[in-house]
């Protein structure tokens, strides 16, 4: 069986923005295509489409669902379109990156004869927004009979899903988000923590400008560091609904000359390798943080909020610095601590790099997803890794 005769693996993403789950879908498609499998990408919303050229270069089939952003009709449209897609492409398995929406997708593709359905859970359930949490719980329960696994990106997220969504541990799995490690490889070791006297220390953060992140604390910490006379630059990479709010906050704190909103970028890997420090200021809603892994892979010292996901990824501070959330003074103090003790920072950098190589490769993620989808392993090498790597289900 070759070409379009092969059953497809349908991957549904919200958009092709150059971030988070769309990037994961791209890397999974890259690996599975190279191994003779047939991913098909379905996109719920036409824009943004930053990654469209990358999918086109892979030759991956792409379908724009063109769902409206409002109204109950979109659920009916989604169900109908997924049923048609599943029949047309002879879909054998479905991976839904959006949670909640997966319930309608699961029903549609099951009716079309699809054997396996899994949904990605990328964030800890937000207990502060009762209405939103209740809606997600209802949708998860609605899709429960038709979904094989909710695939959580960390053990922290898994515990949240079990407690907040009312599912059993048997219905969940843990698969860490992976990275194409080659993208962040350095040619000559890790970056130096020292700079020339006239060269600013670059502190970077990559993340959506949304409320589940906390760039505001980093902006306020920049003001504290400026008042201390530190020569720094802060790069905030990412786009989102809070951009205007952060523009005002930067002006209010008088840090417009040192804090830059760089927006959505396609050269994230190159920017991270230019940073001296990576500040991952976030909230308890954080699920894992792809950008956090990118910094660890690149050998950049990490300072992160002391929330569940960051504690798990950073080994409770062995692989990075953890600071009290929403505390700009603590964040500024941590920046000074890293600069004043480079040997301790270098030890954490080495621990972080080893952990990423051991647990967060995109190849490992691809094999684990393949196992859950009950498709052929992406490669003999990864299939053989089953002897030493157990799926957390």
Q: Could you read off the pLDDT of 208-249 as tens digits, one per residue?
A: 898 889 999 999 999 999 999 999 999 999 998 999 999 999
User: Mean pLDDT across the stretch 97-105?
Assistant: 95
How far, in whole angstroms, is CA 290 from its chain's centroid? 4
**CA gap 66, 85 in Å, rounded:** 14
Are 51 and 23 in contact by the 8 Å Cβ rule? The answer is: yes
Position 132 confidence tier, pLDDT thresholds 50, 70, 90 = confident
Most confidently predicted of 126-130, 249-253, 382-386: 249-253
Best CA proximity match to 365, nearest among 382, 387, 352: 382
Main-chain dihedrals φ then ψ at residue 91, nearest 5 degrees:
-65, 130
User: Mean pLDDT across the stretch 328-351?
Assistant: 94
Encode pLDDT of 359-393 as tens digits: 898 998 999 999 999 986 545 454 444 333 333 33
User: Mean pLDDT across the stretch 102-127?
Assistant: 93
Mean predicted lDDT score pLDDT of the chain: 88
Alpha helix stretches (DSSP H) within the chain: 20-34, 52-58, 73-88, 102-111, 130-143, 155-165, 215-227, 243-252, 268-272, 290-298, 308-313, 328-340, 342-359, 362-373, 380-384
Coil, strand or helix at 30: helix
Position 1 confidence tier, pLDDT thresholds 50, 70, 90 = very low
Domains in the chain: ranges and CATH: 3-178+361-387 (3.40.50.2000), 182-359 (3.40.50.2000)
Does pLDDT of 68 surpass 70?
yes
pLDDT, position 177: 92
Q: Token pair for residue 286?
A: 């954080």
């Amino acid at each position: 069986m070759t070409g379009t005769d092969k059953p497809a693996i349908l991957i549904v993403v919200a958009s092709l923005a150059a971030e988070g789950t769309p990037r994961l879908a791209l890397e999974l498609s890259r690996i599975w295509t190279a191994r003779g499998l047939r991913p098909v990408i379905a996109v719920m919303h036409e824009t943004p489409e930053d990654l469209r050229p990358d999918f086109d270069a892979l030759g991956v089939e792409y379908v724009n669902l063109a769902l409206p952003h409002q109204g109950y009709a979109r659920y009916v449209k989604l169900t109908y379109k997924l049923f048609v897609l599943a029949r047309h492409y002879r879909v054998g398995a479905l991976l839904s990156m959006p949670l909640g929406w997966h319930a309608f997708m699961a029903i549609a593709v099951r009716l079309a004869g699809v054997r396996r359905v899994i949904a990605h859970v990328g964030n800890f359930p937000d207990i502060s927004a009762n209405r939103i949490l209740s809606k997600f719980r209802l949708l998860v329960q609605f899709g429960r009979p038709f979904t094989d696994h909710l695939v959580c990106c960390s053990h922290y997220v898994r515990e949240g899903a079990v407690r907040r969504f009312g599912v059993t541990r048997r219905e969940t799995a843990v698969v860490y988000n992976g990275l194409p490690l080659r993208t962040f490889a350095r040619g000559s070791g890790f970056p130096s923590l020292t700079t020339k006297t006239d060269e600013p220390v670059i502190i970077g953060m990559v993340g959506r400008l949304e409320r589940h992140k906390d760039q505001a604390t980093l902006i306020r910490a920049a003001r504290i560091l400026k008042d201390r006379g530190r020569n720094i630059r802060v790069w905030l990479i990412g786009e989102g609904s809070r951009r205007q709010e952060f523009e005002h906050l930067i002006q209010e704190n008088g840090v417009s000359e040192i804090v830059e909103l760089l927006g959505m970028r396609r050269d994230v890997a190159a920017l991270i390798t230019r940073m001296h420090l990576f500040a991952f200021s976030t909230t308890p809603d954080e699920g894992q943080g792809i950008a956090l892994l990118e910094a660890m892979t690149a050998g950049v010292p990490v300072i992160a909020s002391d929330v569940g996901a960051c504690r798990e990824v950073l080994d409770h501070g062995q692989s990075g610095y953890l600071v009290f959330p929403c505390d700009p003074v603590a964040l500024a103090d941590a920046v000074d601590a890293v600069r004043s003790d480079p040997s301790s920072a270098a030890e954490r950098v080495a621990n972080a790099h080893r952990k990423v190589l051991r647990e967060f490769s995109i190849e490992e993620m691809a094999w684990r997803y393949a196992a859950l989808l009950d498709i052929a392993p992406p490669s003999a090498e990864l299939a053989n890794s089953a002897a030493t790597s157990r799926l957390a289900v």
